[in-house]
Structure 1
Amino acid sequence: MSRERWMAGLFALGSLCFVVGPFPGYAQLVGAQADAITFFVGSIFFTGGGALQSGIAFATRRGSHTGRAAWRAAAVQSAGTVFFNVTTYLALHTSLSNADYDRVVWRPDAFGSICFLVSGLIAYRASARHGWRPAHGSPGWWEPAVNLLGCVLFGVAAVAGYVVPASGSPLDLAAANVNTALGAACFLTCAVATLRTGRTLKSPRLRRLRALRHLRGARVARDGG
């Protein structure tokens, strides 16, 4: 299996944990401690996927503009996953010491969310666009936009989490939980697409291969004509 598919698999598992974890029904079913473990395990998968993504992009950090952008986006996102490791661990520790900790087990923290948002913006800016709209046509053209949407939703969840008091209203709690789940669903969508096709715009190596194939095809068509 290619490194891209391993990366996608780790991101898919991590995203799935963050999709399931915020649902109140899940927390009520398994309890606050198991819910906190779900978030923590998901953050570890995220970190593994981010580390592999950084490794794939490392060789291109001094190459083309696209390669440099891929490296910066991967490095910043990896830093964000480490912040999530810390906050999910703290949430797990709190749930183990406080039996009443069952309102919002975890929500994206500020530093991790900022890293994700910056990473998503770098990747989207480097992608093919018509103005601010993504350019259709190439495989995975929609991935940077969906990934950026997920980053924005994690940021909204972080803001909602900071304004939710310990006795927050159900509407406040829903804002933190729903946006966390929706953001993770965006990441899951991108990861599943990469698992299915083995291609992703996160990999500069695959971008170069596609560009070479396109150039070769254009030359063959020209010479044949």
Structure 2
Amino acid sequence: MGDQLKEKKLICNIPSLDLPEGWSCIKAEGIGPFVTKAILKHPNGSHIGWASRDHRKHHNLLDSDTKSTWWAPKAIGWWVGVIFAIGAVCFTLGSSPVYPKIVGNNLDGMTFFIGSLFFTTAALAQYIETINARQTPKGLKLKEKIRLFTWEPRRIDWLAVVVQFIGTIFFNISTFYALNSLMTVQQINSQVWTPDAFGSICFLVASGLVWIEVGHSLFSWKIGSLSWQIAALNLIGSIAFGISAISAFILPLTGNPVNITLVNLGTFTGGLCFLIGALLLLPERTHPEKI
């Protein structure tokens, strides 16, 4: 009997959750080493659902306003959505057909750089949000300390936000160097294109991890779920950014990008997807879904 209990505990091990005495985990789902969904057993015998994304979005130390959807400056989840949305607006504007013609190339480049700074700020806020998900089951509000840094690579949500944050740093570098209009083709490819490509890869990996976290599998279809919609939009946006990055490589013989149309279309599509996904974070925060 003791061996069976030990085996069950190992199978249901949830790195982000510290079950109080009397609680137990009776079932867990996920992919590889990552647990994304579980069923917990309360000491009174009742069963309670747990899901990685739902837990951090709706059982967080830094979310003191769970009622207001569109104006909640005391909730870190609200700030994550708003700041990401501002960054996405900058990328969408910068890659639109009309905006560069109105403001000129210099201001257009500055728009991308400012947008990347908003992305980095939002990604950092998202990291703080993630590590401050309560470590007790939903409904229990025991006193816990606010955390500024953790090392939890076995958590799929922690890994996703860290990879995305690194990606935003690459975009900071790329958009900063892109402000210099006097670079050679080799300099553009090494200082602008290379970090842009790495940033796009990071975004794709992070979005893929969130997709798995929300769907609890590689393939899922939950069109009625806000969390699933956000994950799908971010994944599509990351793919679009990736297409843009590949197309932006400067060909040494011509001095032109591989395909300037795909560069702008990919960035515009990605920015628009990220914008809608960011705005959906606001109602997701105040409308918990049934697990």
Give me the TM-score of the superposition, normalised by structure 2.
Answer: 0.59
How far is 1:26 from its partner? 1.5
Deviation at 1:59, TM superposition (A): 3.4
Aligned residue identity for 1:184: G
Aligned to 2:260: 173
CA distance in 2 between partners of 1:4 and 1:45 (Å) = 15
Counterpart pick for 1:143 among 230, 236, 239: 230
**2:108 aligned with 1:35, yes or no?**
yes
Residue of 106, 109, 129 corresponding to 1:56: 129
Q: Does structure 1 retain, via aligned residues, the 8 Å contact 2:241–2:270?
A: yes
Deviations 1:85-125 (A, max 9, x none): 01111011x13x58xxxxxxx77811101100100111101
Task: Say whether 1:85 aligns with 2:158.
Answer: no
How many Å separate the matches in 2 of 1:111 and 1:25?
A: 28
Partner secondary structure for residue 225 of structure 2: coil
- Cα RMSD (Å): 3.0
**Paired AA for residue 148 in structure 1:** L
Tell me by how many angstroms 1:129 deviates.
5.6
Percent of pairs identical after alignment?
34
Paired with 2:128 and 2:273, the residues of 1 have a C-alpha distance of 23
Q: Which moved more, 1:128-137 or 1:81-90?
A: 128-137
AA aligned to 1:132 is F
C-alpha contact 2:160 2:206 (8 A) present in aligned 1 = yes
> 1-side partners of 2:278 and 2:136: how far apart?
25
- The correspondence for 1:47, drawn from 120, 144, 160, is 120
Residue 156 (structure 1) aligned to one of 227, 239, 243: 243
Deviates more, 1:107-116 or 1:28-37: 107-116
The residue that corresponds to 1:4 in the other structure is: 77
Deviation at residue 163 of structure 1 after TM alignment: 5.2
Relative to 1, partners in 2 of residues 1:164 and 1:30: Cα closer, same or farther, differing over 3 Å? farther
2:93 is aligned with 1:20? yes
Alpha-carbon distance between aligned partners in 1 of 2:105 and 2:246, rounded to the nearest angstrom? 22
**TM-score scaled to structure 1, two decimals?**
0.75
Greater mean alpha carbon deviation, residues 80-89 or residues 20-29? 20-29
Distance 1:150 1:141 in 2: 14
Contact 1:61–1:68 under 8 Å retained in 2: no
Quote the offset at 1:133 in angstroms.
Answer: 2.8
Q: Which has the higher contact order (CA 8 A, sep 6+)?
A: 1
Contact residue 62 and residue 68 of structure 1 kept, 8 A: no
Aligned letter for 1:17?
A: C
Cα displacement string for residues 105-153 of structure 1 (whole angstroms, at most 9, x for unaligned residues)? x778111011001001111011126761332443433111111010111
Cα offset, 1:60, TM superposition = 5.0
- Name the SS for the 1:127 alignment partner: helix
| Secondary structure, counterpart of 1:38 in structure 2 | helix
Counterpart residue number, 1:220? none
AA partner of residue 155 (structure 1): G
Higher fraction of helix: 1
Runs of 5+ consecutive residues of structure 1 not aligned to the other structure: 99-105, 201-205, 216-225
Distance 1:73 1:63 in 2: 21
**For the structure 1 residues 164 and 179, does the alpha-carbon distance in structure 2 shift closer, same or farther, using more than 3 Å as the test?**
farther
Cα pair distance change 1:28/1:139, threshold 3 Å: closer
Count of residue correspondences: 193
> Partner of 2:228: helix, strand, or coil?
coil
Bigger-Rg structure (1/2): 2
1:135 to 1:112, Cα distance in 2 relative to 1, 3 A: same
Tell me the distance in 2 between the aligned counterparts of 1:73 and 1:117: 10
List structure 1 segments (4+ residues) > 2 angstroms apart after TM superposition.
59-65, 128-131, 133-141, 163-169
C-alpha separation in 2, matches of 1:62 and 1:150:
31
Matched residue SS, 1:189: helix
